[in-house]
């Protein structure tokens, strides 16, 4: 158990819908990262927050958005879902030193 908690673990939804994935980082970690992993695209970095502020942006679609709240938990919002958004979405966190990144178990999203 890495200490990073993600909910829900599995989610099935229809095209055009909107979902929110939630992540609680390890206690004391200030950075939260979101990744998308699919069979055809591999592991893709989406976005990083550090202590509530966006620090880096990767291949995140405009239909997707994220935020980190004052209690440091983070949410990834996916809207106007398409079949191709079906993937495993990982959250990860790291301490202020940044010396290790810990991954959650992921949220499996299936869009039908």
Q: Which stretch binds other proteins (CB under 8 A): 12-20, 31-39, 68-76, 78-86?
A: 31-39
Exactly one of 43, 77, 80, 84 binds other proteins (CB under 8 A); that residue is: 43
Q: Which stretch binds other proteins (CB under 8 A): 10-18, 67-75, 79-87, 103-111?
A: 103-111
**Environment class of 1 (CB within 10 Å of its CB; exposed 0-12, middle 13-18, buried 19+):** exposed
Window 46-85: residues binding other proteins (CB under 8 A)? 48, 50-51, 55-56
Exactly one of 27, 39, 42, 70 binds other proteins (CB under 8 A); that residue is: 42
DSSP symbols for 1-16: --S-EEE-SEEEE-TT
For 17, 25, 29, 33, the CA distances from 100, given in Å and listed in that order, are 35, 13, 10, 12
Q: Which stretch binds other proteins (CB under 8 A): 16-24, 30-38, 60-68, 69-77?
A: 30-38
Distance of closest approach, residue 12 Cβ to other proteins, in angstroms: 17
């Amino acid at each position: 158990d890495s200490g990073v908690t993600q909910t829900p673990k599995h989610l099935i939804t229809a095209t055009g819908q909107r979902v929110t994935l939630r992540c609680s980082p390890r206690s004391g970690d200030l950075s939260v990262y979101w990744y998308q992993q699919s069979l055809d695209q591999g592991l893709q970095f989406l976005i990083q927050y550090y202590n509530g502020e966006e620090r880096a942006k990767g291949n995140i679609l405009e239909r997707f958005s994220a935020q980190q709240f004052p209690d440091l938990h983070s949410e990834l919002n996916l809207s106007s879902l398409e079949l191709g958004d079906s993937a495993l979405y990982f959250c990860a966190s790291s301490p202020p030193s940044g010396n290790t990144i810990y991954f959650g178990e992921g949220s499996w999203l299936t869009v039908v």
